[in-house]
Amino acid sequence: MKKRIFLAAAIVAGCANLVALPALAESGNPEGAWTLARAGQAGFFGPKVTYAKYQQIRNGMTYSQVAAIIGFDGEELSRNQIAGITTVMYQWQNKNGANMNAMFQNGALIQKAQYGLK
């Protein structure tokens, strides 16, 4: 009986991590754009950022395009606006610590970096 209660609690707790990904819905994601990932971090069964996905990302892309390639939303690390230029940095991180960062100015990717992606 205790095992069943624990399993039910684990399933309910896991559902708290569900987030909608509109960018994936627009790209035709057959799973309905729901994933077991927190924004910015790959879930246990969810997608993860890979070096192959990282290589597909090009300067000039929008955040929505980048998130659609990676498969889940990034975590916003910083945002500032100076002289009419808005700069935003996002991070995508896997459970093992491997990650990528992307910096956007006025909605377009200007720089990306990665650590430990395979």
Q: What gap in Å lies between CA 51 and CA 43, rounded to an integer?
A: 18
Domains and CATH numbers, the chain: 2-115 (3.30.1450.10)
Q: How high is the pLDDT of residue 46?
A: 57
**Residue-wise pLDDT tens for the chain (118 aa)?**
544 444 334 433 444 333 444 444 444 444 444 444 445 555 555 579 999 999 999 999 999 999 999 999 999 999 999 999 999 999 999 999 999 999 999 999 999 999 999 9
Phi-psi region of 18 (alpha: psi -120 to 50; beta: other; left: phi over 0): beta
Judge whether 48 and 100 are in contact, CB under 8 Å: no
The structure's pTM equals: 0.64
